[in-house]
Structure 1
């Protein structure tokens, strides 16, 4: 695998007091969903990997945070390709994990958004059958937020008995990623305004697309696919009508004005405008609240730019608390204004 492709896969991978005064029923769970080209193990509230990161690089801190607060947490298994999840080495290594689940309920994080969503929906139905889960709060990192939306549509279309109580997206490219937009040709390299890291990210993504003909959700990251009158977002209208959504975006990397909002500010992978779905119509996203944190997209991005691990969206305690608040506040969220903080 080219070094730049490995970088792409890694960067896209993937307290506030408790306010819900009602006891959490045993039939309710939080499901954590990974992003593009990620490999993540299946974990349960009482079972995680014994070697390395217990729930993978993106989910470990959030899982541990929520478990400490008494939530029932599952991580959806994800594989960079079809098949079951196995132990992995290298960056974000994990081993000695719970028994891998069948490929049919494992998210193919290199497949199309809708295919990934279909497998995620199967996993959620599996939780209902095997773990007696009737309600879920979905938390998706990066493309995991889009996979979650596709899963919600599939659950409804198939008459699933599981209720999706809330959706929280972390660094999710609701409108695409500036990296994919550059590769697709809708953004010029000049939009980086001479920033070396921005240019290297754009060139690396475009080189990987050209070299290995990435398909599936890697090619669906561009804005033209997701937005517009016939874009993917349009076909999600109605799916989130009764589901409160919290969008968390990072703005670690900035540029002095005038700066192109199609790129700046960003988290190293996704521009803030996209992470907060600012151009997504209210018919698609009628109940949104937003939170902005000065973080990077992932701990890998923090590492390659010489930042501490907790500057990453998936490791920052502020984000962990924001996720907790979003889940706890779900019952009253539909009563508030749309685009709160967005």
Structure 2
């Protein structure tokens, strides 16, 4: 448990952190204000890639009295049809999509289209749940969709001859699912990782979110999904991407703002994985996560496997994950001028942490836990740590009761990702065909286990 009375040294260190992170807290303050004043409309058009040309997602703020459009926005809908918008508070937003077959940036009669509609097929506002600040819907494009004349007339009046590019407000949320990534792209840099911590709301607009591939999908290779931790970036996984056997595996990575609430990050990941599975029908997906990414991943896997009943995730590797929470998160929630949303979930004893272990993965998913103990003395952490996370948190009893294997390494929190022994072990875990949980105690296979304690 965390100490209630912080030692003077810890308070001094926190004060120093607050001073040096001043610019970050200012950015966070603006971001939190934006979140309070906006809701999210999340949409999936399930057959968006059935048609050639660009697909557009649109949102219209319709005055219910005059029937006029007050504001509008649009975003390119990706091949798998997931997109979203930030909208100001209100319940009068229509959402829809169309396939721009002739690439003229406007809907024309006969083009496949869809609108969120009522039971009679009339376009109707997508409500925002006050509890979550989100509205969700899905649909399919169809050439048979009939858009009421009053709505097309209102759109024409609002556009007044303007192209879509001229009315876009920039509040569309970019969602990538299977897009090819260049890791040298600045959007995947460590600087962007910091932005994801301090600006979790604006990050999806400026940088996008989603699941990226490093190469086109190959049905003959197993996808391995990598999930980074707090303030991390895809570039953290470079050593793994280089060492992974590309003849057998294809690396994917989850790109997300680490400052957002962890359950939200897990939900978004689950929705993305299920959309990719609906398209590619892969039989197996392995998951490798670092630090806080392990918390996000376990929540995602619990939803995907235990709640939704999907069978394709059977291996889960976590590295240096703070299963028991983090001392600095609790200090930040208590003493920081502004609180990064994910800090609430990173506290010891948080609702998120409690819910994370309500159901066991063992028997469905083999969880391999790797931890580090190569840290130096810290004013905040216990003496046994990896420089960022205490060993006690990495080896939290709740998670130890649900793993199949544990291994420790004399590495710090970041260095463990380039430790050759770790890279080798993860590769052998992925190659292992038989679950350690299924091998009878005392058998030769069991004695040959991949893990040999501390390294």
TM-score (norm 2): 0.46
Which of 412, 431, 434 is 1:328 aligned to? 431
Unaligned runs of 5+ in 2: 1-17, 25-189, 198-217
* Mapped pair 1:296 → 2:418: no
More strand by share: 2
Q: How far off its partner does 1:261 sit? A: 12
* Mapped pair 1:244 → 2:366: yes
Is the CA contact 2:266–2:297 (under 8 Å) kept in the aligned structure 1? yes
- Corresponding residue of 2:338: 212
Equivalent-residue separation in structure 2 for 1:261 and 1:233 (angstroms): 25
Q: How far off its partner does 1:275 sit? A: 1.6
Cα 1:316–1:4 change in 2 (3 A) is farther
Q: How far off its partner does 1:129 sit? A: 2.8
- Corresponding residue of 1:36: 230
Q: What secondary structure does 1:147 align onto? A: helix
Instruction: Tell me whether 244-253 or 330-339 shows the greater mean CA deviation.
Output: 330-339
Is the CA contact 1:125–1:162 (under 8 Å) kept in the aligned structure 2? no
Which of 115, 120, 124 is 2:269 aligned to? 120
C-alpha RMSD of matched pairs (Å) = 3.6
Q: How far off its partner does 1:281 sit? A: 6.0
Q: In the TM superposition, what are the counterparts of 1:34-73 in structure 2 within 5 Å?
A: 34-40=228-234, 56=235, 58-68=236-246, 70-73=248-251
Q: In the TM superposition, what are the counterparts of 1:1-342 in structure 2 within 5 Å?
A: 3-4=20-21, 26=220, 28-40=222-234, 56=235, 58-68=236-246, 70-78=248-256, 80=257, 109-156=258-305, 159=308, 161-183=310-332, 210-215=336-341, 217-225=342-350, 231-235=354-358, 237-254=359-376, 263-277=382-396, 279-280=397-398, 285-298=401-414, 312-329=415-432, 331-335=434-438, 341=453
Q: What secondary structure does 1:213 align onto? A: coil
- Corresponding residue of 1:44: none
Unaligned runs of 5+ in 1: 14-23, 41-55, 81-108, 186-205, 299-311
How many residue pairs get aligned? The number is 240
Q: How far off its partner does 1:30 sit? A: 0.9
Q: How far off its partner does 1:265 sit? A: 1.4
Cα 1:155–1:143 change in 2 (3 A) is same
TM-score (norm 1): 0.60
Whichever of the two has the greater Rg, that structure is 2
Equivalent-residue separation in structure 1 for 2:372 and 2:399 (angstroms): 21
Equivalent-residue separation in structure 1 for 2:228 and 2:326 (angstroms): 16
Q: Which has the higher contact order (CA 8 A, sep 6+)?
A: 1
Equivalent-residue separation in structure 1 for 2:380 and 2:435 (angstroms): 32
